[in-house]
Chain A
Amino acid sequence: AQKVTQAQTEISVVEKEDVTLDCVYETRDTTYYLFWYKQPPSGELVFLIRRNSFDEQNEISGRYSWNFQKSTSSFNFTITASQVVDSAVYFCALFSGTYKYIFGTGTRLKVLA
């Protein structure tokens, strides 16, 4: 069975703190793709990153970084020096060719000024 677990329902941090959002996945497929989406208070869903199962390189984009570890089936997302504009709900998702997209239940991040 395919599953995505975002155990952190809600996280609150003070501005400029670093924060890590956890994503743990389950799949039996050897080829799969992992995604992160951001849902700001305005409600739309914005694509952040895609990672395939053959590429375990970590990725950094400005203050955002992603740590993909197949050994622990995790694809965690870190925001460095968080800002109020980072306040949003973040979804992790899993896709493999043999199945549909599976979304986690989301983590609400509140960054306090």
Chain B
Amino acid sequence: EAQVTQNPRYLITVTGKKLTVTCSQNMNHEYMSWYRQDPGLGLRQIYYSMNVEVTDKGDVPEGYKVSRKEKRNFPLILESPSPNQTSLYFCASRDGTGIYGYTFGSGTRLTVV
């Protein structure tokens, strides 16, 4: 089954404790992206990657890091999480054309206390 696998589904952490949210896709998609969803703000892009070793900032990159060492994996790293990073996060992938839309992971609900 074609899918984007994102883990964990729920995470509660404390301010400053580094964490990683993993994302893996099995569709051989070139393009992967991380979004955060906040009430009233819709989906905002954090980072994206157009292919292996190619990453770039989205609209709200501050406080986040990503890497793309393999085509299938695109982890999101929060080096020093803060409460304003409490949000619902989605990993997504699509082919290089973009015309078929994204496939999204199940989401990670992160709470930073």
List chain A positions with a Cβ less than 8 A from chain B.
9, 33, 35, 37, 43-45, 47, 50, 52, 91, 93, 95, 97, 100-101, 103-106
Contact = CB atoms under 8 A, between A and B. Distances in A.
B98 A95 contact: yes
How would you classify the secondary structure of chain B's contact residues: helix, strand, loop or mixed?
Answer: loop
Given A44-B106, A47-B103, A101 B41 contact: no
Interface in B57-113: 58, 88, 90, 92, 97-107, 109
A91 B100 contact: no
Contacts of A47: 101-103
Interface in B25-52: 40-43, 45, 48
Contacts of B99: 33, 50, 52, 95
A91 B43 contact: yes
Interface residues on B, range: 20 to 34
A91 B92 CA distance: 15
Interface of B: 40-43, 45, 48, 58, 88, 90, 92, 97-107, 109
30 contacts: A33-B99, A33-B101, A35-B101, A43-B88, A43-B109, A44-B106, A45-B90, A45-B92, A45-B102, A45-B104, A45-B107, A47-B102, A50-B99, A50-B100, A50-B101, A52-B99, A91-B42, A91-B43, A93-B101, A95-B98, A95-B99, A97-B97, A97-B98, A100-B48, A100-B58, A101-B102, A105-B40, A105-B41, A105-B42, A106-B42
